Amino acid sequence: MTETTKTHVILLACGSFNPITKGHIQMFERARDYLHKTGRFIVIGGIVSPVHDSYGKTGLVSSRHRLTMCQLAVQSSDWIRVDPWECYQDTWQTTCSVLEHHRDLMKRVTGCILSNVNTPSITPVIGQPQNESPQNIYQNNNVSSKPTAAKILGKVGESLSRICCVRPPMERFTFVDENANLGTVMRYEEIELRILLLCGSDLLESFCIPGLWNEADMEVIVGEFGIVVVPRDGADPERIMNHSSILRKYKNNILVVKDDSNHPMSVVSSTKSRLALQHGDGHVVDYLCQPVIDYILKSQLYINASG
């Protein structure tokens, strides 16, 4: 299978990220490594989408703080970014709605960027003044500047920032994998691009709780998008899937990360990190990266909170 025939993937993680932990970032890394090893996928980006304030979870701090902590946690990553769309809506959004938003946005933006890699598009990039001449994507005689996935999706990222007028005035972090090369003669429209929901086995298990999830939403999430599951705390995803008719129905759309790593997935727990902060436990460094710890202490978050 060539690079151009592999499915190009963007991993999307939804959650409270209250606060975001080292384990959350490890989930992205483990999922990307596993998908690449299958030989079927190229992961070109990761998106962290913190939940809206009206989610109502006890002890949930303001999205202003959670967005900043997420930005700090991914600042050294060249492929994971934080998206504020979910936080900036009028009310809480379902996971299904968030996935659909990013899918529709990606479709809209890519249509405005490139029609054919050999013919620079005459359609202005979103946000570009109409009286400006569209810039050539590359010079035909300069092979090294021809568009790779990194360059194309870099353009997508730029346009996303222009479209998302609610994006807070923070530094953007690229989510492009510079190793993803689409070649020089592939039409962008021919590249299969999918957004997959990244989650732990605890979220997968929640699908089996009667009445917790809207069944129509589950059909869309698993049937139309697909899930990448990183097992946590010894959970058996195969056993979990057998307890849900929808999960069984779309079993082929559920990718379970299997690797030889020995990451302690308990470090994903935001609850344990908050407890460590409240008790002044030095082991908090096992859960949170230092910039996030510094921000929490400076802003006095969680210190006197419960839960």
Coil vs helix vs strand at 63: helix
Range(s) of the domain holding residue 51: 7-116+191-264
Would you say 279 and 35 are in contact if contact means Cβ atoms under 8 Å apart? no
> Has residue 73 been placed in a domain?
yes
pLDDT at 7: 87
Order of strands across the sheet that contains 41-50: 80-82, 41-50, 7-15, 193-200, 227-230, 254-256
Would you say 231 and 256 are in contact if contact means Cβ atoms under 8 Å apart? yes
| CA dihedral (280, 282, 285, 286) positive or negative | negative
> Has residue 65 been placed in a domain?
yes
Would you say 198 and 28 are in contact if contact means Cβ atoms under 8 Å apart? yes
- % of residues, the chain, pLDDT over 90: 56
- Enter the tokens of residue 254: 């559920």
What are 63-114's pLDDT values in tens digits?
Answer: 999 999 999 999 999 999 999 999 999 999 999 999 999 988 887 765 422 2
pLDDT at 172: 34
Non-local (6+) Cβ contacts of 266 within 8 A are 23, 232, 233, 272
Residue 116 DSSP symbol: B
pLDDT at 235: 79
Coil vs helix vs strand at 112: coil
For the entire predicted model, the pTM comes to 0.77
* pLDDT (mean) for 275-290: 91
Residue 295: pLDDT above 80?
Answer: yes
**Band of residue 56 on the pLDDT scale cut at 50, 70, 90:** confident
Q: 77: domain CATH number?
A: 3.40.50.620
By C-alpha distance, which of 206, 197, 267 is closest to 232? 267
What are 153-182's pLDDT values in tens digits?
Answer: 555 555 444 433 233 333 333 333 333 443
Mean pLDDT of the chain: 77
Number of structural domains in the chain: 1
**Band of residue 193 on the pLDDT scale cut at 50, 70, 90:** confident
pLDDT at 207: 95
> Has residue 271 been placed in a domain?
no
The HSE-up count of residue 124 (CA atoms within 13 Å, CB side) is: 9
What are 25-46's pLDDT values in tens digits?
Answer: 999 999 999 999 999 999 999 9
What are 3-19's pLDDT values in tens digits?
Answer: 767 888 999 999 999 99
Distance CA 186, CA 229 (A): 31
Which regions of the chain does DSSP assign to beta strands (E)? 7-15, 41-50, 80-82, 193-200, 227-230, 254-256
- Enter the tokens of residue 276: 């460590």
Residue 288: pLDDT above 50?
Answer: yes
Residue 224 DSSP symbol: I
What are 216-257's pLDDT values in tens digits?
Answer: 999 999 999 999 999 987 778 999 999 999 999 999 999 999
Whether the upstream peptide bond of residue 147 has omega within 30° of 0, thus cis, is no
pLDDT at 187: 44
Would you say 35 and 9 are in contact if contact means Cβ atoms under 8 Å apart? yes
The residue ranking higher by pLDDT, 202 or 261, is: 202
Task: Find the helix or strand (DSSP H, E) in which 7 lies.
Answer: strand 7-15
Coil vs helix vs strand at 106: helix
What are 133-150's pLDDT values in tens digits?
Answer: 333 322 223 333 334 455
> Has residue 63 been placed in a domain?
yes
**Band of residue 53 on the pLDDT scale cut at 50, 70, 90:** very high
**Band of residue 184 on the pLDDT scale cut at 50, 70, 90:** very low
Residue 51: pLDDT above 80?
Answer: yes
Distance CA 222, CA 241 (A): 12
Q: How far apart are the first and last CA of the chain?
A: 49
Q: Per-residue b/e over 99-127, b at no fewer than 16 CB within 10 Å?
A: bbbbbebbeebbebbbeebeebbeeebbe
Residue 272 CB coordination number (10 Å): 18
pLDDT at 116: 25
Residue 189 DSSP symbol: G
